[in-house]
């Protein structure tokens, strides 16, 4: 992937990272512990990025979310419960959607929030994000069901106290937006899509944001085009740090690739400086590597439209053996 050759799977270094979302989960022996972490990690990372305390899992809210989710089993209807709590809902076609993907969809709306105007950008939604980072919200409970006979997945999270009251102003600094130097570029939206969650992960541990680099983007584009025919999940073995992604079908977005990489942070064990047994976390550690400062990414459809290949390159590269990145 780079010289010296170090894959993103090798972790023999130390990151001083506080994964507050893990600390906020009080039921380590619960059978649904993994699902809880899946719901909470990206949401608490979004809060940490703007110095908000983590949400804490609440069984009462989880029961409420489960009760309502079961009501949507037959129809998958994307409709709010209109209960006493804040609420984010998600529906996805097919049965393979994970809680982390729902959380990523909500959190990634932050790139459309305009702090100065305290509003979403024209034609965009950002209310799911603002509920997640609402300063008065402290507790969360979520649920997931397959619906419409397995043809879809419905997920919901409830928040208490609820947020998104019209009269309040959120104190939010979206550092990832400030790090994008080409606002007139036709690919500006794609750049933001790649960068928002990655810079949010860095902000959560007080690392400066990555800055978009055209040279790295050209390199990423050159290599991505080589994968158009085969969709092969293979590294370029170039001079930069590199994260790669492949998804079946043609509807994958850069924010989903970024969410996949960033969400690996929940498997990183800071004390042992390693990934949890049987898990990967090297994509995440490359993203938060302290010496990495620049990023460039690319996306192509591949195998005749049957897949999407995405790649991000980082300079200076991270994940060096024996070096402490943070």
Instruction: Specify the CATH number for the domain of residue 102.
Output: 3.40.33.10
Euclidean distance between CA atoms 77 and 73, whole angstroms: 9
Check the CA dihedral 233-108-32-284 and report its sign.
positive
Euclidean distance between CA atoms 64 and 305, whole angstroms: 41
Q: What is the pLDDT of residue 326?
A: 73
Do 140 and 194 belong together in one domain? no
| CA contacts within 13 A on the Cβ side of 281 | 24
Phi, psi (rounded to 5 degrees) for 185: -65, 140
Kindly give the parts of the chain with pLDDT less than 50.
1-29, 31, 167-186
Question: For 312, which DSSP code?
Answer: E
Do 192 and 155 belong together in one domain? no
Phi, psi (rounded to 5 degrees) for 314: -130, 140
Do 247 and 287 belong together in one domain? yes
C-alpha closest to that of 242 among 290, 305, 298: 298
Do 94 and 201 belong together in one domain? no
Please give the tally of structural domains in the chain.
2
Q: What is the pLDDT of residue 270?
A: 75
Do 35 and 155 belong together in one domain? yes
Q: What is the pLDDT of residue 65?
A: 97
Length reported for the chain: 326
Q: What is the pLDDT of residue 325?
A: 65
Do 208 and 112 belong together in one domain? no
Q: What is the pLDDT of residue 174?
A: 32
Euclidean distance between CA atoms 34 and 220, whole angstroms: 33
Domain hosting 272: range is 188-315
Euclidean distance between CA atoms 297 and 233, whole angstroms: 15
286 in a structural domain: yes
Do 122 and 77 belong together in one domain? yes
β 139-147/152-160 pair status = antiparallel
Residue 42: strand pairing partners: none
Do 197 and 238 belong together in one domain? yes
110-to-50, 184, 220, 236, 310 alpha-carbon distances in Å: 11, 20, 25, 31, 22
16 in a structural domain: no
SS (H, E, C) 194-208: HHHHHHHHHHHCCCC
Euclidean distance between CA atoms 46 and 86, whole angstroms: 17
Do 155 and 263 belong together in one domain? no
Do 76 and 141 belong together in one domain? yes
Do 151 and 47 belong together in one domain? yes
Long-range Cβ contact pairs of 247-250 (< 8 A, separation 24 or more) = 247/307, 247/308, 248/306, 248/307, 249/306, 249/307, 249/308, 250/301, 250/305, 250/306, 250/307, 250/308
183 in a structural domain: no
Euclidean distance between CA atoms 54 and 125, whole angstroms: 23
Phi, psi (rounded to 5 degrees) for 121: -60, 155
Do 216 and 141 belong together in one domain? no
């Amino acid at each position: 992937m780079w010289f010296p050759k170090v894959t993103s799977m090798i972790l023999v270094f130390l990151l001083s990272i506080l994964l507050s979302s893990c600390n906020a989960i009080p039921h380590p022996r619960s059978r649904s512990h993994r699902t809880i972490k899946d719901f909470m990690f990206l949401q608490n990372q979004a809060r940490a990025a703007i110095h908000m305390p983590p949400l804490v899992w609440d069984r009462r809210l989880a029961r409420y979310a489960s009760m309502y989710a079961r009501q949507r089993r037959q129809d998958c209807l994307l409709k709010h419960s209109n209960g006493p709590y804040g609420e984010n809902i998600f529906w996805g076609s097919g049965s393979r959607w994970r809680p982390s993907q729902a959380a990523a969809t909500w959190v990634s709306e932050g790139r459309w929030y305009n702090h100065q105007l305290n509003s979403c950008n024209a034609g965009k939604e950002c209310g799911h994000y603002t509920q997640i980072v609402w300063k008065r919200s402290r507790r969360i409970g979520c649920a997931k069901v397959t619906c419409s006979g397995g043809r879809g997945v419905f997920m919901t999270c409830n928040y208490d106290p609820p947020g998104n009251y019209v009269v309040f102003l959120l104190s939010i600094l979206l550092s990832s937006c400030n790090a994008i130097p080409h606002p007139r570029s036709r690919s500006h939206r794609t750049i933001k899509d790649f960068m928002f969650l990655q810079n949010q992960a860095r902000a959560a541990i007080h690392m400066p944001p990555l800055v978009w680099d055209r040279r790295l983007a050209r390199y990423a584009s050159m290599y991505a085009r080589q994968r158009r025919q085969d969709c092969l999940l293979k590294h370029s073995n170039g001079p930069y740090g590199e994260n790669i992604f492949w998804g079946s079908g043609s509807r994958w977005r850069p924010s989903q690739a970024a969410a996949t990489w960033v969400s690996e942070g929940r498997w990183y064990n800071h004390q042992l400086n390693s990934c949890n047994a049987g898990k990967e976390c090297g994509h995440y550690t490359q993203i938060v590597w302290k010496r990495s400062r620049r990023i460039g990414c690319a996306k192509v459809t591949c195998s005749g439209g049957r897949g999407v290949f995405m790649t991000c390159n980082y300079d200076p590269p991270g994940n060096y053996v024996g070096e402490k990145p943070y």
